[in-house]
Structure 1
Amino acid sequence: MVSGRIRHIAVFTLKYPVDSTEAENFLADGAHILSAIPVVENFEVLRQVSSKTDFDFGFSMEFTNQEAYDTYNLHPNHKAFVEERWKKEVERFQEIDFMKQDF
């Protein structure tokens, strides 16, 4: 089992133009809903600036441990956001979960 702090990043492209009202609403709603889940720390909405990838946005957040991350994934607000918004409005995505590597 994973132990230690986890940084979860979801990079994604929406079905809307980057500068559209719909994209802004999705990002704002995601920030409001997901950052309110008690185990979520350091939530950030990110905009891609590199030409090395074609994803447009990212949500980044941290969890104190695997238990907190599991709690987030099972939280009713997260599940509702995924079903009602993410699956309908995200064109494609990649999720990445990191833990600090100690040497």
Structure 2
Amino acid sequence: MKPGRIRHMAIFTLKHAEDAPETARFLEDGRVILSAIPSVENFEVLLQVSPKTSFRFGFSMEFADRAGYDAYNAHPAHTDFVERRWKVEVESFQEIDFVDVGGASSLET
């Protein structure tokens, strides 16, 4: 990953059964809505396969810089998705934001 870029990941478990139509709808709606936000790059919907965690799914995306990440967080499509879908349908989650270490000075964000 190039310096200055941010990889944002939200890993989560839904309240719906894994094979429920509501699960497929949530994942596809997340893909369509969140990937359409202008600063979002490389959006992926992921299935977690390790037995070491109970989280089942992930949304992963990248941003060119902190400004793009902040624009995503404040974007009405994101905040609406969080309020109307995420808070209602997600049982548990963890958010992780990565930057390339590339040297000690890049540890400051």
TM score, norm. by length of structure 2: 0.91
Q: Distance in 1 between matches of 2:48 and 2:18?
A: 10
Q: Distance in 2 between matches of 1:50 and 1:67?
A: 33
Q: Which residue is 1:12 aligned to? A: 12
Is 1:24 aligned to 2:18, yes or no?
A: no
Q: Distance in 2 between matches of 1:16 and 1:64?
A: 33
For structure 2, the 5+ residue unaligned runs are 104-109
* Cα distance, 1:20 vs structure 2: 1.1
Q: Distance in 2 between matches of 1:20 and 1:47?
A: 15
Amino acid in structure 2 at the alignment position of 1:92: S
* Cα distance, 1:80 vs structure 2: 0.3
Q: Percent identity?
A: 63
Structure with max Cα Rg: 2
Q: Deviations over 1:16-60 (max 9, x none)?
A: 011111100000000000000000000000001110111010000
* Cα distance, 1:101 vs structure 2: 1.0
CA root-mean-square deviation: 0.9
Q: Which residue is 2:35 aligned to? A: 35
Q: Secondary structure at the match of 1:69?
A: helix
Q: Distance in 2 between matches of 1:83 and 1:8?
A: 19
Q: Which residue is 2:100 aligned to? A: 100
Q: Distance in 2 between matches of 1:54 and 1:93?
A: 10
TM score, norm. by length of structure 1: 0.96
**Aligned pairs, number:** 101
Q: Secondary structure at the match of 2:28?
A: helix
Q: Distance in 2 between matches of 1:49 and 1:8?
A: 19
Q: Which residue is 1:76 aligned to? A: 76
* Cα distance, 1:63 vs structure 2: 0.2
Which segments of structure 1 move beyond 3 Å, counting only runs of 4 or more?
A: none
Q: Secondary structure at the match of 2:49?
A: coil
